[in-house]
Amino acid sequence: MPELPEVETVRRDLNKALKGKTISSVRVITPSLVRGSARGLTQHLAGKKVAAVRRRGKLLLLAFNKTDKTDLVLLIHLKMTGQLFYRSRQALIAGGHGQEVPDDIVQGKPDKHTHLVFEFQDGSLLSYNDVRKFGYFELVGADRLREVLEAYGPEPLTGSFTADYLTSILRGRRTALKNILLNQSLVAGIGNIYVDEASWRARVRPMRRAERLSKAESERLHRAIVWILTLAIKNRGTTFSNYVDGHGRRGGFAQLLKVYGREGKLCSRAECRQQRAVIKKTTVNGRGTHYCPHCQV
Ligand SMILES: [Zn+2]
Protein backbone atom coordinates (compact mmCIF):
# COMPACT_ATOMS: atom_id res chain seq x y z
CA MET A 1 0.00 0.00 0.00
CA PRO A 2 1.31 3.45 -0.84
CA GLU A 3 2.07 5.26 2.45
CA LEU A 4 2.47 8.95 3.24
CA PRO A 5 5.69 9.52 1.22
CA GLU A 6 4.31 7.75 -1.86
CA VAL A 7 0.91 9.48 -1.70
CA GLU A 8 2.61 12.84 -1.12
CA THR A 9 4.81 12.25 -4.18
CA VAL A 10 1.74 11.53 -6.33
CA ARG A 11 -0.04 14.54 -4.84
CA ARG A 12 2.76 16.92 -5.75
CA ASP A 13 2.93 15.62 -9.33
CA LEU A 14 -0.84 15.68 -9.86
CA ASN A 15 -1.20 19.08 -8.24
CA LYS A 16 1.17 20.53 -10.84
CA ALA A 17 -0.52 18.68 -13.70
CA LEU A 18 -4.19 19.21 -12.80
CA LYS A 19 -4.34 22.66 -11.22
CA GLY A 20 -6.51 24.94 -13.33
CA LYS A 21 -7.76 22.13 -15.58
CA THR A 22 -11.52 21.81 -16.11
CA ILE A 23 -13.18 18.41 -16.10
CA SER A 24 -15.30 17.86 -19.21
CA SER A 25 -16.61 14.40 -18.29
CA VAL A 26 -16.22 11.52 -15.87
CA ARG A 27 -16.75 7.94 -16.94
CA VAL A 28 -17.47 5.52 -14.12
CA ILE A 29 -16.76 2.01 -15.42
CA THR A 30 -17.03 0.32 -12.00
CA PRO A 31 -19.71 2.06 -9.90
CA SER A 32 -18.89 -0.04 -6.81
CA LEU A 33 -15.71 2.02 -6.36
CA VAL A 34 -17.78 5.16 -5.87
CA ARG A 35 -19.14 5.78 -2.37
CA GLY A 36 -22.51 7.42 -2.76
CA SER A 37 -24.06 7.98 -6.17
CA ALA A 38 -21.87 7.28 -9.21
CA ARG A 39 -24.31 9.23 -11.35
CA GLY A 40 -24.20 12.14 -8.92
CA LEU A 41 -20.41 12.13 -9.07
CA THR A 42 -20.49 12.25 -12.88
CA GLN A 43 -23.07 15.04 -12.94
CA HIS A 44 -21.48 17.20 -10.27
CA LEU A 45 -17.92 17.01 -11.57
CA ALA A 46 -18.56 17.97 -15.21
CA GLY A 47 -17.42 21.57 -15.67
CA LYS A 48 -15.49 21.73 -12.37
CA LYS A 49 -12.07 23.35 -12.39
CA VAL A 50 -9.37 21.79 -10.19
CA ALA A 51 -8.12 24.25 -7.59
CA ALA A 52 -5.62 21.94 -5.86
CA VAL A 53 -4.71 18.36 -5.06
CA ARG A 54 -4.28 17.93 -1.32
CA ARG A 55 -3.48 15.06 1.03
CA ARG A 56 -4.47 13.92 4.51
CA GLY A 57 -2.75 10.74 5.69
CA LYS A 58 -2.92 8.39 2.71
CA LEU A 59 -6.03 10.10 1.32
CA LEU A 60 -5.92 12.38 -1.75
CA LEU A 61 -8.33 15.31 -1.97
CA LEU A 62 -9.25 17.02 -5.22
CA ALA A 63 -10.52 20.52 -4.46
CA PHE A 64 -12.35 22.65 -7.03
CA ASN A 65 -12.78 26.35 -7.71
CA LYS A 66 -15.82 27.66 -5.90
CA THR A 67 -17.36 29.43 -8.89
CA ASP A 68 -20.84 27.99 -8.47
CA LYS A 69 -20.96 28.34 -4.67
CA THR A 70 -20.82 24.58 -4.15
CA ASP A 71 -18.11 23.33 -1.87
CA LEU A 72 -17.42 19.85 -3.16
CA VAL A 73 -14.21 17.89 -2.69
CA LEU A 74 -13.40 14.55 -4.30
CA LEU A 75 -11.76 12.04 -1.96
CA ILE A 76 -9.53 9.41 -3.59
CA HIS A 77 -8.10 6.55 -1.56
CA LEU A 78 -5.70 4.23 -3.39
CA LYS A 79 -5.80 1.56 -0.65
CA MET A 80 -3.78 -1.57 -1.60
CA THR A 81 -3.46 -1.48 -5.38
CA GLY A 82 -4.90 1.82 -6.66
CA GLN A 83 -3.04 3.66 -9.41
CA LEU A 84 -3.59 7.04 -11.02
CA PHE A 85 -2.41 7.72 -14.56
CA TYR A 86 -2.49 11.17 -16.06
CA ARG A 87 -1.93 11.45 -19.77
CA SER A 88 -1.71 14.63 -21.79
CA ARG A 89 0.06 15.40 -25.07
CA GLN A 90 3.09 16.54 -23.11
CA ALA A 91 3.16 14.23 -20.14
CA LEU A 92 2.47 10.77 -18.83
CA ILE A 93 2.26 10.67 -15.05
CA ALA A 94 1.77 7.50 -13.02
CA GLY A 95 1.32 7.28 -9.29
CA GLY A 96 0.32 4.89 -6.55
CA HIS A 97 0.65 1.17 -6.61
CA GLY A 98 1.60 -0.28 -9.96
CA GLN A 99 4.07 -1.87 -12.24
CA GLU A 100 4.69 -0.43 -15.68
CA VAL A 101 2.16 1.94 -17.19
CA PRO A 102 -0.17 -0.36 -19.21
CA ASP A 103 0.08 -0.01 -23.01
CA ASP A 104 -3.61 0.89 -23.30
CA ILE A 105 -3.14 3.76 -20.86
CA VAL A 106 -0.11 4.99 -22.84
CA GLN A 107 -2.37 5.04 -25.88
CA GLY A 108 -5.09 6.91 -24.00
CA LYS A 109 -7.49 3.96 -23.61
CA PRO A 110 -8.83 2.26 -20.49
CA ASP A 111 -7.43 -1.22 -19.83
CA LYS A 112 -9.08 -4.16 -18.03
CA HIS A 113 -8.27 -2.71 -14.58
CA THR A 114 -9.45 0.86 -15.34
CA HIS A 115 -12.48 1.83 -13.22
CA LEU A 116 -12.84 5.59 -13.65
CA VAL A 117 -11.69 8.00 -16.35
CA PHE A 118 -11.71 11.78 -15.98
CA GLU A 119 -11.45 13.75 -19.19
CA PHE A 120 -10.34 17.38 -19.08
CA GLN A 121 -11.29 20.12 -21.51
CA ASP A 122 -7.79 20.14 -23.02
CA GLY A 123 -8.19 16.46 -23.95
CA SER A 124 -5.96 15.11 -21.17
CA LEU A 125 -7.10 12.07 -19.19
CA LEU A 126 -6.82 10.93 -15.59
CA SER A 127 -7.49 7.19 -15.25
CA TYR A 128 -7.87 5.14 -12.11
CA ASN A 129 -6.73 1.51 -12.19
CA ASP A 130 -7.08 -0.92 -9.31
CA VAL A 131 -6.48 -4.67 -9.54
CA ARG A 132 -7.97 -5.54 -6.15
CA LYS A 133 -10.61 -2.79 -6.18
CA PHE A 134 -10.23 -1.76 -2.52
CA GLY A 135 -9.74 1.92 -3.41
CA TYR A 136 -12.62 4.38 -3.49
CA PHE A 137 -13.89 7.74 -4.71
CA GLU A 138 -16.26 9.89 -2.71
CA LEU A 139 -17.61 13.33 -3.54
CA VAL A 140 -18.22 15.19 -0.31
CA GLY A 141 -19.55 18.51 0.91
CA ALA A 142 -18.09 20.58 3.74
CA ASP A 143 -19.75 18.69 6.62
CA ARG A 144 -18.80 15.22 5.45
CA LEU A 145 -15.29 16.47 4.62
CA ARG A 146 -14.84 17.75 8.16
CA GLU A 147 -16.05 14.44 9.54
CA VAL A 148 -13.59 12.48 7.37
CA LEU A 149 -10.63 14.72 8.18
CA GLU A 150 -11.35 14.81 11.90
CA ALA A 151 -11.09 11.02 12.05
CA TYR A 152 -7.37 11.31 11.25
CA GLY A 153 -4.69 11.82 13.85
CA PRO A 154 -2.02 14.51 13.45
CA GLU A 155 0.07 14.68 10.28
CA PRO A 156 3.52 13.47 11.35
CA LEU A 157 5.34 16.23 9.45
CA THR A 158 3.44 19.09 11.05
CA GLY A 159 3.85 20.86 14.37
CA SER A 160 0.88 18.99 15.83
CA PHE A 161 2.91 15.76 15.93
CA THR A 162 5.26 16.40 18.84
CA ALA A 163 7.37 14.08 21.00
CA ASP A 164 4.96 14.79 23.87
CA TYR A 165 2.03 13.79 21.70
CA LEU A 166 3.71 10.50 20.73
CA THR A 167 4.53 9.79 24.37
CA SER A 168 0.90 10.46 25.30
CA ILE A 169 -0.54 7.99 22.75
CA LEU A 170 1.84 5.23 23.86
CA ARG A 171 1.10 5.71 27.55
CA GLY A 172 -1.07 3.03 29.13
CA ARG A 173 -1.34 1.04 25.88
CA ARG A 174 -0.75 -2.66 26.30
CA THR A 175 -0.76 -3.31 22.56
CA ALA A 176 2.33 -3.47 20.32
CA LEU A 177 3.98 -0.18 19.44
CA LYS A 178 3.40 -1.04 15.77
CA ASN A 179 -0.38 -1.18 16.24
CA ILE A 180 -0.37 2.31 17.69
CA LEU A 181 1.66 3.76 14.83
CA LEU A 182 -0.49 2.05 12.18
CA ASN A 183 -3.68 3.44 13.72
CA GLN A 184 -4.61 6.30 11.37
CA SER A 185 -6.73 7.97 14.03
CA LEU A 186 -3.63 8.37 16.23
CA VAL A 187 -1.05 9.29 13.56
CA ALA A 188 -1.93 9.84 9.90
CA GLY A 189 -0.17 8.29 6.92
CA ILE A 190 2.28 5.80 8.42
CA GLY A 191 2.11 2.19 7.20
CA ASN A 192 4.04 -1.03 7.49
CA ILE A 193 7.30 0.02 5.81
CA TYR A 194 7.87 3.24 7.70
CA VAL A 195 6.90 1.82 11.10
CA ASP A 196 9.61 -0.81 10.73
CA GLU A 197 12.18 1.66 9.44
CA ALA A 198 11.50 4.29 12.12
CA SER A 199 11.60 1.63 14.85
CA TRP A 200 14.99 0.42 13.63
CA ARG A 201 16.34 3.95 13.60
CA ALA A 202 15.02 4.51 17.13
CA ARG A 203 16.42 1.12 18.30
CA VAL A 204 13.08 -0.15 19.56
CA ARG A 205 11.31 -3.30 18.41
CA PRO A 206 7.93 -2.72 16.69
CA MET A 207 6.37 -5.50 18.81
CA ARG A 208 7.34 -3.85 22.10
CA ARG A 209 4.38 -3.14 24.33
CA ALA A 210 3.68 0.54 23.72
CA GLU A 211 3.40 1.45 27.41
CA ARG A 212 6.86 0.02 28.09
CA LEU A 213 8.75 2.59 26.03
CA SER A 214 10.75 5.02 28.15
CA LYS A 215 10.39 8.74 27.57
CA ALA A 216 13.85 8.77 25.95
CA GLU A 217 12.79 5.97 23.61
CA SER A 218 9.57 7.63 22.55
CA GLU A 219 11.46 10.88 21.93
CA ARG A 220 13.95 8.97 19.81
CA LEU A 221 11.08 7.32 17.96
CA HIS A 222 9.46 10.68 17.30
CA ARG A 223 12.68 12.03 15.77
CA ALA A 224 13.06 8.80 13.75
CA ILE A 225 9.54 9.01 12.29
CA VAL A 226 9.99 12.62 11.19
CA TRP A 227 13.45 11.91 9.79
CA ILE A 228 12.42 8.77 7.86
CA LEU A 229 9.29 10.31 6.31
CA THR A 230 11.16 13.47 5.30
CA LEU A 231 13.95 11.45 3.70
CA ALA A 232 11.46 9.16 1.94
CA ILE A 233 9.56 12.10 0.42
CA LYS A 234 12.86 13.60 -0.72
CA ASN A 235 13.56 10.28 -2.47
CA ARG A 236 10.03 10.11 -3.96
CA GLY A 237 8.99 7.14 -1.84
CA THR A 238 9.81 3.45 -1.77
CA THR A 239 9.48 1.14 -4.76
CA PHE A 240 9.68 -2.61 -4.74
CA SER A 241 8.01 -4.37 -7.62
CA ASN A 242 5.12 -2.07 -7.99
CA TYR A 243 5.23 1.49 -6.77
CA VAL A 244 5.87 4.07 -9.44
CA ASP A 245 5.85 7.80 -8.87
CA GLY A 246 4.08 10.57 -10.75
CA HIS A 247 6.40 10.16 -13.75
CA GLY A 248 6.37 6.36 -13.80
CA ARG A 249 9.74 6.34 -12.07
CA ARG A 250 10.50 4.05 -9.19
CA GLY A 251 10.94 5.60 -5.78
CA GLY A 252 14.53 5.97 -4.61
CA PHE A 253 13.95 5.07 -0.98
CA ALA A 254 14.12 1.27 -1.51
CA GLN A 255 17.91 1.37 -1.49
CA LEU A 256 17.88 3.23 1.83
CA LEU A 257 15.74 0.65 3.65
CA LYS A 258 17.48 -0.79 6.69
CA VAL A 259 15.12 -3.60 7.77
CA TYR A 260 11.99 -3.74 5.60
CA GLY A 261 12.29 -6.66 3.14
CA ARG A 262 15.84 -7.36 4.38
CA GLU A 263 15.20 -10.44 6.51
CA GLY A 264 18.21 -12.77 6.56
CA LYS A 265 20.61 -9.94 5.69
CA LEU A 266 23.17 -8.40 8.01
CA CYS A 267 22.09 -5.33 9.94
CA SER A 268 23.98 -2.31 8.61
CA ARG A 269 24.92 -0.85 12.01
CA ALA A 270 28.67 -1.29 12.53
CA GLU A 271 28.19 -2.87 15.95
CA CYS A 272 25.75 -5.40 14.47
CA ARG A 273 27.88 -6.20 11.44
CA GLN A 274 30.72 -7.09 13.78
CA GLN A 275 28.45 -9.52 15.61
CA ARG A 276 27.06 -10.85 12.29
CA ALA A 277 23.57 -9.84 13.50
CA VAL A 278 20.89 -10.71 10.95
CA ILE A 279 17.55 -8.93 10.32
CA LYS A 280 14.60 -11.02 11.48
CA LYS A 281 11.01 -11.10 10.24
CA THR A 282 8.00 -11.85 12.39
CA THR A 283 4.34 -10.86 12.35
CA VAL A 284 2.55 -8.33 14.52
CA ASN A 285 -1.21 -8.45 14.24
CA GLY A 286 -0.87 -10.23 10.90
CA ARG A 287 1.57 -7.68 9.47
CA GLY A 288 5.07 -8.72 8.37
CA THR A 289 7.46 -7.00 10.76
CA HIS A 290 11.22 -6.57 10.38
CA TYR A 291 13.78 -5.80 13.08
CA CYS A 292 17.32 -6.37 14.22
CA PRO A 293 17.44 -8.41 17.44
CA HIS A 294 20.90 -7.00 18.24
CA CYS A 295 20.38 -3.24 18.17
CA GLN A 296 16.63 -2.99 18.78
CA VAL A 297 15.25 -3.71 22.25
ZN1 LIG B 1 21.25 -4.02 14.26
Interval 81-136: pLDDT, tens: 999 999 998 888 888 875 568 889 888 899 999 999 999 999 999 999 999 999 99
pTM of the full structure:
0.93
> Per the residue annotation, which of 2, 102, 110, 206 is the catalytic one?
2
Domain range for residue 207? Answer: 163-291
> Per the residue annotation, which of 48, 58, 87, 201 is the catalytic one?
58
Interval 181-201: pLDDT, tens: 999 999 999 999 999 999 999
Whole-number Å distance, alpha carbon 287 to ligand 1 midpoint, is 21
Whether residue 171 lies inside any domain: the answer is yes
Whether residue 137 lies inside any domain: the answer is yes
CA distance 14 to 73: 15
> Per the residue annotation, which of 144, 155, 287, 293 is the catalytic one?
287
Whether residue 211 lies inside any domain: the answer is yes
Q: What is the pLDDT of residue 103?
A: 85
- Checking if the pLDDT of 241 tops 50, the result is no
Residues 14 and 47 in one domain: yes
Confidence at 250, pLDDT banded by 50, 70, 90: low
Whether residue 2 lies in the annotated active site: yes
Residues 92 and 230 in one domain: no
Whether residue 157 lies inside any domain: the answer is no
Q: What is the pLDDT of residue 42?
A: 97
Residues 180 and 221 in one domain: yes
Residues 120 and 44 in one domain: yes
Total tally of structural domains belonging to the chain: 2
Residues 129 and 23 in one domain: yes
From 112, 129, 150, give the residue that closes a domain: 150
Confidence at 239, pLDDT banded by 50, 70, 90: low
- Checking if the pLDDT of 261 tops 90, the result is yes
Q: What is the CATH number for 280?
A: 1.10.8.50
Confidence at 267, pLDDT banded by 50, 70, 90: very high
Whole-number Å distance, alpha carbon 275 to ligand 1 midpoint, is 9
Whole-number Å distance, alpha carbon 264 to ligand 1 midpoint, is 12
Residues 122 and 220 in one domain: no
Whole-number Å distance, alpha carbon 65 to ligand 1 midpoint, is 51
From 126, 150, 174, give the residue that closes a domain: 150
